[in-house]
Structure 1
Amino acid sequence: MTALFDFDERCRGGAKAVLVSVSFSDADDTARVAELKMLVLSSGAEAVGLLTCSRTAPDPKYFIGSGKTEELKALVESCQGETVIFNHELSPSQERNLESFLGCRVITRTALILDIFAARARTREGKLQVELAQLGYLETRLVRGWTHLERQRGGFGLRGGPGETQLEYDRRLLKERVNILRKELREVEKQREQNGRARSRRGIPVVSLVGYTNSGKSTLFNTLTDAGVYAADQLFATLDPTLRTVSIPRVGKTVFADTVGFIRDLPHNLVAAFKATLREARESDLALMVIDSADGDMDDMIAAVEEVMEDIGAGSVPVLKVFNKIDRIPGISPHIEHDSAGLPRSVSISAKTGAGVDLLLRAISDRLGHDRVSLELTLPPDAGALRQRLFAMGAIESESYDDSGKACLRITHSRTELARLSARFGGALERYVTAPASFSFRREVWED
């Protein structure tokens, strides 16, 4: 990363971490504490202590109150903790007060996630987005007005005196860097949009894999595409989106996109920063919601994924639920469940063992293929423009010529897209259909 600032130096070092989790309701926070421990493990640190407590509201000064802060200090000293990680958002003043009292680093769950993202980003876009999110987080924590580093006003005829403080200088540099990052991201986003439009013109459907982090998305992606994407039993094992093309029965060439995993209460600045990366999910034809069916908090995880999908503008994308890891549940075998219209709504599989993957491919084919149609056409020589457009869309599966020089084509594509194409050519496509014997597009489909 090439930022003018090293992101919040308090996040670095500190291999021994003491965790703090506060319950503000009667709900069981066991799952949230376990998730925080997984985040710490994923960051490379070691959780050596845990402090839990209940409150009706955060304490303005220490978040957990003075008595619990004394208890936390004793725990840090006994465990030789180097960093205290709160499973909550702290105000900058609360962070400073805690650091001053405890004598060690204090960071939040958001800072921890940002640090993990910074370590995992590989593509240029991912690195830019992480850095932008980091700077947005850091901006509210530039509070040290280093008066001993004041810069003197200079120049002939000017009296000396307090000039730009280090704090003001840092803020100015931060804003300049943010502007540079946003400009670079706009360029990257333009390129991604162009690639997406090119796929759309060719009629290639996109299937995105979304789901809670560590649900097995990357393992399933590797099983489906043989991509060799890094997969591990840790949170946010992969960050940047990966695209691979696979041929699906009755559908043809299909792009699969593996996206970053979601998490409970994903920080809003991360959602905003990664909207470009998550465009693949937002603009996909079908989203595979990969779910860890062996997790006791499965319903909460599904709700968290649905919430993030709404946040990134992907709430209207058709979803096929994939209940993964059935190998961990005795008595469960691979199967498909259908909705009232007869379309698959969920598939139970094991991406690790491969059990049920054939059912998943069939379900994907059914969900994408219900709008797909295969036709045989006979085009006269003067229909070259229509033939060229069909080639550009990637619709032509085979082509031959009869004795009169007419092109005999077999095409497979989205019924909707073909109907629109036929409308642009004055209904020509329907006139040239030779198989099936009778075929017509519904008018409401091809009206643009």
Structure 2
Amino acid sequence: MLFETNRSYLASLPRFAQDPAHFQTLLTTEAFRQKLLDLISKAQTRIYITALYLQEDEAGTQILDALYAARARCPDLDIRVFVDWHRAQRGLIGAGAQAGNAAWYQRIRFDHELNVPIYGVPVQTRELFGVLHLKGFIFDDTVVYSGASLNNVYLNVGDRYRYDRYQVIKNSALADSMVNFLQTEFLNSSAVYRLDLDPIPSTKQISPDIRQLRQRLKSAQYATHHAQDEVSGLGITPVVGVGKRNSLNRLIIKLLGAAKQHVQICTPYFNLPRTVIKEINRLLQKGVKVDIIVGEKKANDFYIPESEPFKTIGALPYLYETHLRRFAKLHQLDIHRGQLNLMLWNDPGHSYHLKGIWVDDDYILLTGNNLNPRAFSLDLENALLIHDPKHELKEQLQQEKAEIAKNTTRIAYYRELETVLDYPPPVKKLLTRLSRFRADRLISRLL
């Protein structure tokens, strides 16, 4: 009964019809960077970029220089960049006092004397309690969807890369809907300020406006009046959500509950919300095969090699591994019989940032949502639900899955994962102390 209810819910969602010939899956970080630069150089009417951050480094400079070149080439081009308000005004974690990317945006604007607006979006009054985690780059009628931000490691400039998913979708109705959301919710908000212009108000000065923005975002949705309730072939539903029990959270649970045979989940951090764990347990009881691909702790973007000075944030990959080991131990029988496959991704020296859900090859969820308690309650998240009843994306789907699987290994027994006793002394000391005071649970909800 619950299965049918979930399937009915998914079937009732409005969808933008999608031509499969205009849906492309990129398989490498370098291809993603080249595609962004190519689309920026060819844009004729609009460029709307939304990311957690646009970093002051070689890759970030490539993107920002390309945007200014596009402005010089086409003065009427509508260019807007949206980044997280807090993240743009602080330095890197553990890097000491830094001016942040906002100071760089202002220097570049002064040098060029052209107008490329970069907006800071404050989802909360403090970064710890919520950030702009929307994804999507719109170039004219093309949407590039990825969980990546814009810096060296995400764009593979240099020796390291951070692996993500990259879809290129030409769909004017979808692009219009996503741009309309940014215009309506951000450009019309008194809490959203340009970071490339001086002066920038303090967070305290605009705190009432930030609270008002967050309250409005709780009920905000993508406009789908040009979508159809019934699409016979490939279709796309954009979804957005912030706060507990939001529309995106509901969609994720309904999507998992609609699985008949097979579910694949990708997340960089094994820190699943209770509602997701509960749904996975139900799937396993029903006999549905579940594959979960997570980053091995050394492929985590917070991992710090033992050869480098320890920082508190470096304990996070180990904390996530303790969660994974506990889950694997509880489900050892499911692992043994091949119904549950826990896969660790690791390409030495590189990191893993994939998110998404595949259900029976009928549904594919593209999202920046980390499938963790923070994403389910604090950050502003979005997703594109792809419905592919005729399996028109089957070949692309198989290629992407094969590329992801290249650097994965299966956990056959939970004891293959280390325990706290195996960890470096600073990590062992910190996690033991946190566990003693049950602070690890609080940290898991916030990070």
| TM-score using structure 1 length | 0.28
Higher RCO (C-alpha under 8 Å, 6+ residues apart): 2
Normalised TM-score (structure 2): 0.28
Which of 1 and 2 has greater Rg? 1
